Chains A and B, each alone.
Chain A
Amino acid sequence: MASLISCPHCGTRPKEEFAIRGDATPLRPSSMASDEAWHDYVHLRTNPRGRVREHWQHVAGCRRWLVVERDNLSHAVFSVTDAATEVDR
């Protein structure tokens, strides 16, 4: 686990200020989507080894939701971006 996270709003902060939600890759399906799509979104996670994209919230800082891209093996953090700017619309 990284010791420091560079929040795009607050700067480099200790990881204790953040809370992790989990995998940031699944996108919420439309309410009309299939059972399988929803089952996938709510219940299924791949638990990969290596590079992962996760939702982290800077709870003791700006309270923004961030997408942290990191390697869960080497603990290297590649990027930290605001989740709102990540949403593909």
Chain B
Amino acid sequence: MSVRYPIKDQVAFASAATTPFSKTSNERTQAGMAIDACVAAIRAAGLGAADIDGISGSGTSPEAKWMQSALGIPRITWWQNPSLTGTFATTIYEAMHAVYSGACSTVLCYHAAYRLPWQSRAAAADAMRRRVGELTGMMGAVDPETMGGSVGYTAWASRYLYEYGRRREDLGMVAINSRSNALRNEHAVINTPLTMDDYLQGRMIRNPLCVYDMDVAIDGADAFIVTTAERARDMALRPVLINAAASGMVANNDEDQLPGLHQHGQQIVVEEMKRRGDFWIDDVDLYYPYDGFSMLTLAWIENIGLCRPGEAGDFMREHWDWAQQRVLLRGRVPFNSHGGSLSEGATQGSGHIREAVMQLQGRAGSHQVDGASKALLTIGGFFFNAQALSLHTV
């Protein structure tokens, strides 16, 4: 069957920017961080407010209308704040499609992660955040007996260990890999080494997942400029072309009704990415298998075809650089080069995308992968947020 994918290489990232990340007490606001990242992204592209004609913010970030006024962007023709039921990739997809359709030309994209009172003790101690939490209204009645939301990943991690007869050490490899990459990235919020002994002694949260299997809540923001590939070539930084992008979801996608480990959104994403894109894992310099939960990294490694189901832990050991305590595929391709959501900080995917864009523009600083020109990102989970992007420079 011929592939209809006209948007291939037509839309590009012109820039990416971030703010400092924090997991301790601070008086930064979500809006303030979003603004900081957006100003940095616009300036990095060599643009001003009047050059922006579209705004795409994540559904949990300040609204597009607020950002337009705050930044004094005089005139826009398209805006959106898509739900974070997907990952942050949805926010980028919306911008891509708007640019390609002609609804606008140059889109400011952003996501600000902000710890609410129920996410950390430090956040709960902040009176201002308690007020934000009351107004956000996510503290409704929840019974313990649910697999809904983030609990679902624990449930299917448990099922994974059962079906394949694996041990928690496989999940630990993911946690250590992310931590070792974070140690190389001064932007990461966690900067202490993690050993397998540390992992196995980690405080259990929802057995079989412990504190090291779950991403670390932070305050911080990422922002991007998305525009046509043609316009990006006239901007200040090297354009990063979006070669392919995909989302996937199956019925039933309720966490406890999911058909199984072999039949969820990730398999659809992989099939579509292979149909749409020009390159795959063997061709890339960087790979980002999402690690909001450690289980997801194992699942992506298997689903993109690097090894058979149940063998991702063994695969990581086979490609492990013991001196650096991280995966280096073919001796050089890191997985989650920034430390991922587990150790750089939880960004619902914006950190993975920002890191890939910065790497491909040669702006990753201390942990730059020399000569990186292609990246594959497989972001999200099983239920309603399996997504992917392939990016390259030409």
Partners in one complex: no
